[in-house]
Structure 1
């Protein structure tokens, strides 16, 4: 009996010694660029990345932080805070205002930097500023990032910023550039969760079609809810088409504006969390039977014009995304999908006019 007890204790000791936490140091660190790192989303997302919420608890990271010169002092303060947080996965921090230094050898890039629309500015003025920003950053990534670098564009207009980045980084495959609509996807899940009084983890397969703007189309037609009796259609459980075609859509579309009104600042924590969700699923894979929404380069699927960054339902495996095919699209959905596509065509034309 004593020998058996000793054996069990030794077994438990070796299991603890060689647990995933212990061997995580053997995994080589990866380099992640975060632009606009001294901003509100940057301040929220950086500790999330360093704690493993983006790439997993066994992946050490070296963070490259980039911001503009006027934010250099704040950027240095963020660096000090990251160091002071004593995060085991954090293997280094680069804080710089030099885009070339920031892009050197990065494996992943999270693009938070963008020029916000200010009072009195025309739409073309904002687009012109962002075209200049993304043209410069694309060129630096093209020349200095690691091979097969994967990029997530968060700054608005996210879809069109991603398009400009693609145009000026031609050696980076279009499939390696995405934009964030996961925040809208998460908001849609949350609305169904609250409506049905179920845990948000029991709701899946909503879709955000189109642009990350007020024309986006949150689609619950294919959403699934896990109940004690198995998986059920969210549409059938809600049993209220008027709500699904009205308040549900408008609430998700206008959620960002509602947060600004309440908080007097734009979404930061939820945007940072969504960006982590987006990258984690892209790199580590989506669960079996689950899809997520990502802004990706259209190849003409579902009749959406090729050459736009458009949000589709996708599944991910081994660092690659794939558009979910064969979903039924009714007339109501088709009209919504085409309307947001048309806005993206207009944005594309406006962006290209700023290049001349």
Structure 2
């Protein structure tokens, strides 16, 4: 068997982690032959809960789980980590302004960036989940200058999953029948869920989603708004943010990053912009990417962007640029 991977999950006493840890430890992410050492990081007031999570993980008696290490110390927790799932952050609550969430969280991710830079393996793979995820990932990347910037990503797979589920429900097909929905931009209400590249298997043949749905008004309006506002709708209904669906999306994101996706398939990940599609270089912006079995990815180039899409893509880029500047001012103050 392979050497164990050291996988860190922050916010490990929280709701998302509670849905996530079992899947990671039983092989859903890294495969059935990859042993795991789980490092669970949370804040000191959550230590008692964290110890309960450790007991439960042990009691699952999972064959791949070699060790579970609880921690409330960032520098200790990030030591020699291979993969980090940064879930922990102040949660968004009903009525909370995004700028308030940003100010509270960016200092947390600055501190994590410093710890990653000094303690983690230099080829560490990082996915940021805690919101505002794109900007938190940008700050984490900035304060870990010895790590390849491409190794910092933020989660927009949940938005992609939401988009594909809406299309599947509209057409009455399985979720697996829909692929290549694209999320552009920020994991926020400005994100642009784009079906212009999406295809669906319908009645035994593959066809463009627009052709199958036959309702551009729905695709350009209600569909986009539903995906953009889904997180807020879950909060309104549950009085808590998405947990089960977020955990599933983290599994999807890291699994596909680690193992690659089939030819002709791409997935949405928020990654450092290389200037593709005229997006400001360096911003953590969600693009369609192809992931490869060597744990790398590339932004899908050359997709046709119409005027409607351009306007939506520019609007979410503007929000991200503003968030970046606000975050830098908080970190440097």
TM-score over 0.5 (shorter chain): yes
Partner of 2:269: 294
Equivalent position SS for 2:269: strand
CA distance in 2, matches of 1:38, 1:73: 9
> What pairs up with 1:312-351 in 2 under 5 angstroms?
312-317=287-292, 318-351=294-327
TM-score, normalised on structure 2? Answer: 0.97
TM-score, normalised on structure 1? Answer: 0.90
Gaps of 5+ in 2: none
Quickly say closer, same or farther: Cα 1:120–1:290, change in 2 above 3 A: closer
Which of 244, 252, 273 is the equivalent residue of 1:277? 252
> What pairs up with 1:61-210 in 2 under 5 angstroms?
61-117=36-92, 124-210=99-185
CA distance in 2, matches of 1:147, 1:127: 27
For each residue in 1:11-41, what CA deviation from the matched residue of structure 2 results, as whole angstroms up to 9, or x when unmatched? xxxxxxxxxxxxxxx1211000000000000
Which of 224, 229, 232 is the equivalent residue of 2:199? 224
Considering only aligned residues, what root-mean-square deviation do their CA atoms show, in Å?
1.3
Which of 212, 218, 225 is the equivalent residue of 2:187? 212
> 1:264 Cα shift?
2.0
> 1:84 Cα shift?
0.4
Equivalent position SS for 2:6: strand
> What pairs up with 1:24-39 in 2 under 5 angstroms?
26-39=1-14
> 1:123 Cα shift?
5.1
Which of 1 and 2 has greater Rg? 1
CA contact (8 A) 2:98 2:132 kept: no
CA distance in 2, matches of 1:118, 1:230: 43
Gaps of 5+ in 1: 1-25
> 1:328 Cα shift?
0.7
Partner of 1:244: 219
> 1:228 Cα shift?
4.1
CA distance in 2, matches of 1:265, 1:284: 32
